[in-house]
Amino acid sequence: GENVEQHPSTLSVQEGDSAVIKCTYSDSASNYFPWYKQELGKRPQLIIDIRSNVGEKKDQRIAVTLNKTAKHFSLHITETQPEDSAVYFCAASRRGTGNQFYFGTGTSLTVIP
């Protein structure tokens, strides 16, 4: 089955700096890669996603890049703000398998004011 690894497990940045979280996956057939943000005690919420036919996607201060050859994808947050502090999860999925998601272990991001 698919195996998703996520690094780092914790990340602290100064407000205004950029944050980068990286994930690798093992199944070359995976074709959908979402990123979820989970604030303390709340449900995970989708912040951005990318499909395998695209190399990069951007939404305001958030961007995701995908390297299919190397089987890794990254989340980039620019101009970080204190409200970006949360746990971020990456996931990989392959159509035709019930849309089953395989999640990384999460990155706890702290933005220091």
> Which residues of the chain form contacts with other proteins (CB under 8 A)?
1, 6, 9, 32, 34, 36, 42-46, 49, 51, 89, 93, 95, 98-106
Q: Which is nearer to other proteins, 32 or 78 (CB)?
A: 32
CB of 113 vs other proteins, minimal distance in Å: 25
Nearest CB to other proteins, comparing residues 81 and 105: 105
Nearest distance from C-beta of residue 31 to other proteins, angstroms: 9
Minimum distance from residue 22 beta carbon to other proteins (Å): 15
Using DSSP's 3-state secondary structure scheme, residue 112 falls into strand
Output the smallest distance, CB 33 to other proteins, in A: 10
